Amino acid sequence: MEGLGLESDELALRRLLHQSVQEIEPADGTLEHLRRAVPARRARKRQAVVGMAAAALFIGTAIPALVHVSNSSGSDADPSIAGHGTHTQGSTQGKSGGGGQASSGDTSDKSKEKDKDDKKETPGKGKGESSGATGGVQPTPSAANTPACTAAQLSNAATVGSADAGGAVYGTFRISNVSGVSCTVTSAGSVTAAPQGAADASKIQVVQHTAGDAATGLPDPSTELASMILQPGTAYQVQFAWVPSETCPTTPDDPSSPQPTPTAPTTGGDSGGTSSEGTSGTAPQLATEGGVQDGSVVVSNTAEGGGPTASANVSNACAGTVYKTGVLAGQ
């Protein structure tokens, strides 16, 4: 002991310590426990490192994918990404749990509790991400699942205004859902123009309204809807404009028409009567001479699904173009 270079009091303390522990013996199975616990602890450390690397890789790939899906209009992209993320995390946690079961004692119990807590938190995050990503595209499936409107569900009413300074006339068809269930409208239906009186069918056409055309009073085509869910009691509109290209013709001044009138009395041999009857016969014709002939155009709309139909009469219309819009939100 003297060779250790210790002082006398240090040697005395060393002897006391040896005496206090010389009767202590390890419990049964301690060596076996150490043989199992040390490799298990090393395995858990390796798995923790692998798990952290896998989590970093998952986060690096999941964030760009979620950004891409959030900008996508498809409804099937989000669930697949959310499921992939849940599966990856579950696989990593399962391995970690397996390592924990191989150990015993307090360290093993704490590892199991930690794995259980992680498993509880991970599915919750996966569900939140899936529901958040798909929440923005719910209106599209609902529109697709709503049946098309039928003629029995709709009513149609037409209104027409007065001609403006240029002779253009604007009108509106208002189509309402009079049923108790929602339906989908994907078309403005058909718009036709029927000539009446002196109107010339060859000089009347119906065209779709476009930006910059002559129907400047119609809404911009960008406001038209490709489809619309029509709730009960709501309506959509189809507007039109009549833009004349010519005025209605006037009664022609035919110089041959007065001649038969004086010749008829001539057979009676009374020249005075001829003059009198000739004057009386040309008077009605002179009243209409130079007058505008009566012509009009009936603009009709038949809603999608074959009905109902509403009509608007545009008076003093004989030649021109009917500009029609698509589906517009009701007002």
pLDDT tens by residue, 210-267: 999 999 999 999 999 999 999 999 999 999 999 999 989 887 654 444 444 343 333 3
Identify the burial level of 190 via C-beta atoms within 10 angstroms of its C-beta, where 0-12 means exposed, 13-18 middle and 19 or more buried.
middle
Helices 106-134 and 30-70, interaxial angle, to 10°? 10
CATH no., domain 151-246+291-329: 2.60.40
Buried b / exposed e over 76-89, threshold 16 CB at 10 Å, is ebbeebbeebbebb
pLDDT score of 108 = 52
- Mean pLDDT of all residues in 55-84: 64
Nearest Cα to 244, choosing from 292, 288, 286, 291?
292
| Position 106 pLDDT exceeds 70 | no
Q: What is the mean pLDDT of the chain?
A: 74
| Position 283 pLDDT exceeds 50 | no
Sequence ranges of the domains in the chain: 151-246+291-329
pLDDT score of 258 = 45
Please give the span between the terminal C-alpha atoms of the chain, in angstroms, as a whole number. 107
Reported as a pLDDT band with limits 50, 70 and 90, residue 119 is: low
Number of neighbours of residue 107 by Cβ within 10 angstroms: 14
